[in-house]
Structures are given as C-alpha cells and as structure tokens.
Amino acid sequence: MPDLLDLAIEAHGGWNRWLQVKQLRAHVAVGGAIWQVKGWPGALADIRVSADPHRQHVEYAPFLEAGQRGVYDADRTALIAASGEIREQRESPRASFKGHGLATRWDAQQLIYFSGYAMWTYLTTPFLFRLPGFEVEETEPWTEDGEAWRGLRVTFPAHVQSHSTEQTFYFDASGLLRRHDYSVEIMGGTSTAHYVSDPKCIGGLVFPTRRRAYSKGPDNRPLRDRLAVAIDFLSIEVE
C-alpha cells in the first residue's frame, strides 16, 4: 500500500509541480453561521484572496471597505489602505484570543488572523505536510456513505499557525482529500468535521472548490444542521 502522504501529494498535482508555484489567487464566497456569531456577517461573502504557497502570507481584498486589504502573516496582521498606508496592525495576533470562547466577538485583526491562517492551510494542503517540523501518521480508516477513507493524523509545528496542533485529514482511494477534522483552539476548542468536494485541476494542481464545515457529534459524525463555515471557490489562478 503506498504511503498515504505520497499518494495524496501525487493526487493533488505532485511535489515537483508544487515547487514551481509562486502565487495562488482565488475569488471566494464565504458564509456560514460563525461570521454572525463573531460579529462579521457577510464580511467575506465576495472577496479576492492571494496566498504565497511557500510561506504563511495571505491577502484579502477588498477587505471590509473598497481599496483596503487585510494582510495575514504568521506573526502579524494588518489593515492596509490603497495608498499603502498601514491603518492598523497587530504583532503576535494569536495571543489576543486568550480566554476566548465560541461566542466571543472578534475585532478586525482577529478576523484577518483566523481567515488568513485557515485559507493558507486549505490552499496548501496536502503539500505543506512535507515542510520541516510536521509529523504525520496514518490512522485507522474511516467509513462514511459506503466509502472507506484513509486517515492521516498531522501534528503541526508551533511556528505554523492553524486551527489546532493536531488535525486529521481523510483521503479517498485515489488520494484526494475528502474530510478534515480539527478543533479551533482560538475559539476555546471546537469539534469540527470539514468536508471538501468538487475538485478541479487548475494549473496542474487539484483543488477542492467546495468546502463545508460542521460541528461534530460524539460519534464523529457531522451535525448537518450546524453549518459553521461554507466556502465556494468561484475561480482559482496558479502562477
């Protein structure tokens, strides 16, 4: 049986092709209940995103108002005007979530941080798991809707910002990602089953273009009436 990470990377376009990529751009529509809870309904409903595939850097535009960008880096977030002026920024943004729970409202910098690291994780999976410091281990397979998916437990290094230190990714027989489970630590810990579908080959890479994240019950099944986040990629460009 092939190594699961190798199988997944090959199914999503291959390591050599990934190393050639300089920039990822997408037009996305983001919804779900979490944005209302956090005080930002519709903030990402129609937005352009660009991401550096090889370092933690994401930009959203227009962000909250015309001409303004939201910029995410692992250790900094910022609101930047069309002129290039930094309107506000925050160093070490993860520390600002101390004591937060699911219902705690976010400010603009916290919105940038969460949406930035999340989008970077989604656009770079599964390739980022080969970066230094990541630990991967295949788990027992998971059966859902009559299909058996192979599970990959991934431990993220401390310098890579993401939902939680440990996350599990499920891949089908061809190596394509189907589900992603995690706990959102900056919300006080959640139990999430995040489904991906509608894969498309773009620029030699394969991206799921539909994402739906649900609260997860104790039986590891999604609670379908609790849609936390919905992401539709309307277009993706690979440079």
pLDDT digits (tens, 9 = 90+) for 164-220: 999 999 999 999 999 999 999 999 999 999 999 999 999 999 999 999 999 999 999
| Mean pLDDT value of segment 93-122 | 98
Residue with tokens 């440079």: 239
* Domains in the chain, number: 1
**What H or E segment, with its residue span, contains residue 206?**
strand 205-216
pLDDT digits (tens, 9 = 90+) for 27-61: 999 999 999 999 999 999 999 999 999 999 999 99
Instruction: Specify burial of residue 101 (Cβ count, 10 A radius: 0-12, 13-18, 19+).
Output: exposed
Task: Quote the pLDDT of residue 145.
Answer: 87
Structural domain that includes position 63: 4-238
This model's pTM is above 0.95: yes
CATH code where residue 233 lies: 2.50.20.10
The whole-angstrom separation of Cα 120 and Cα 124 is 6
Confidence of residue 2 (pLDDT cuts 50, 70, 90): low
